[in-house]
Chains A and B, each alone.
Chain A
Amino acid sequence: MKYAISKQDGKAVIRIKGWLDSQTAPELDKFVRSSLTDVTDLVFDLSELKYISSAGLRVLLYASKVMLKQGSMKVTGCSDEILEIFEITGFSEILTIE
């Protein structure tokens, strides 16, 4: 799993690549927790995300809770497989998916 962030004037885009599983999610979790200060418009670009397990879903849920208080959040570029996991877990109702 790799991630990158670009930030400008309260807008942040976090791109996640590869496998977001129980082994890799803690690193992303730490990064997200330290990156959301002053962010009002957050985008997760998941176009290169191949896999997400419950550990990865927890990171997105955490971010969505923070962004409910301080701005907006959306996820983009999901594959059909990732979208299906969002459907099963009800995340498609919680997240703004584009």
Chain B
Amino acid sequence: MKELDITAVLENLDTVLQFVDTHLEQAECSPKIQMQIDLAVEEIFVNIANYAYHPETGPATVRVEVRPDGSAVTITFIDQGVPFDPLAKADPDVTLPSEQRKVGGLGVFLVKQNMDDIQYEYLNGSNILTLKKEL
């Protein structure tokens, strides 16, 4: 298991993605799966950066665990910001025509669509979000 402690700001997105991708490379996953994971990591980290400690900034921990046989990866995000369960939000209606489509709400939806399992818990003052993807 590898862990990255980082300030949750947008400017650190590249560092977080590089950290995750380095571990995915060891698992030799396909470019398609890597992109799906990158998308989920970006959406979650950016949410923490934008909202968790708003208007201040604070820390986030990103943990990556690749199953020893390389068949799955678990990525955990931990922050001590305001309690926020991204899974509680209703999915956007993706069948609406362009003029009625809202500009927001797609990020968490993309995470849900691209991951195999997502768990959220609020424990001892921390938001803990765990994403799992079969490789």
Contact = CB atoms under 8 A, between A and B. Distances in A.
Chains A and B bind each other: yes
Interface of A: 21-23, 51, 53-55, 57-58, 61-62, 64-65, 68, 80-81, 84-85, 88-90, 93-94
A21 B101 CA distance: 20
Interface of B is mostly: helix
Interface in B4-25: 10-11, 13-14
B49 to A, nearest CB: 8
A62 B10 CA distance: 22
B89 to A, nearest CB: 13
A89 B32 contact: no
Interface residues of B, number: 27
Interface stretch (B51-59, B72-80, B91-99, B124-132): B91-99
B32 A84 contact: yes
B87 interface: no
Nearest to B104: A58
B111 to A, nearest CB: 9
Given A22-B42, A51-B35, A88 B110 contact: yes
Contact of A89 (B14, B35, B106): B106
B65 interface: no
Contacts of B101: 61, 65, 90, 94
A57 B98 contact: no
A90 B14 CA distance: 27
